[in-house]
Amino acid sequence: MSTTHLSRIHYTKPSITDLEVRYATDAATNGWGARCYEYIGRFEELFRSHLEVKHTIATSSCTGALHMGLAALGIGPGDEVILADTNWIATAAPIVYLGASPVFVDILPDSWCLDPDQVKAAISSRTKAIIAVHLYGNLCEMDRLLQIGKERGIPVVEDAAEAIGAAYHGRKAGSLGRFGVFSFHGTKTLTTGEGGMFVTNDKDLYESVLTLSNHGRSRTQTRQFWPDVVGFKYKMSNIQAAIGCGQMERIEELTARKREILGYYREQLLPLRGLAMNTEPEGTVNGAWMPTVVFDVETGVTREKLLSAFAEEDADARVFFPPLSSLDCFDNVTSNPLAREIPNRGINLPSFHDMSDDEQHRVVNVVRRCLA
What digits encode the pLDDT tens for the residues 249-281? Answer: 999 999 999 999 999 999 999 999 999 999 999
Under 8 Å between Cβ of 187 and 214: no
Residue 154 phi, psi (nearest 5): -120, 125
Q: For the sheet with 318-319, list strands across it.
A: 275-277, 292-295, 346-348, 318-319
Domains defined for the chain, CATH in brackets? 18-249 (3.40.640.10), 251-371 (3.90.1150.10)
- pTM strictly above 0.85: yes
pLDDT band at 364 (very low <50, low <70, confident <90, very high): very high
Compute CA distances 76 → 37, 95, 99, 171, 212, whole Å.
Answer: 32, 8, 5, 31, 15
What digits encode the pLDDT tens for the residues 53-110? Answer: 999 999 999 999 999 999 999 999 999 999 999 999 999 999 999 999 999 999 999 9
Dist CA 269 CA 98 (whole Å): 43
Dist CA 323 CA 336 (whole Å): 9
9 forms beta bridges with 315
Dist CA 240 CA 243 (whole Å): 5
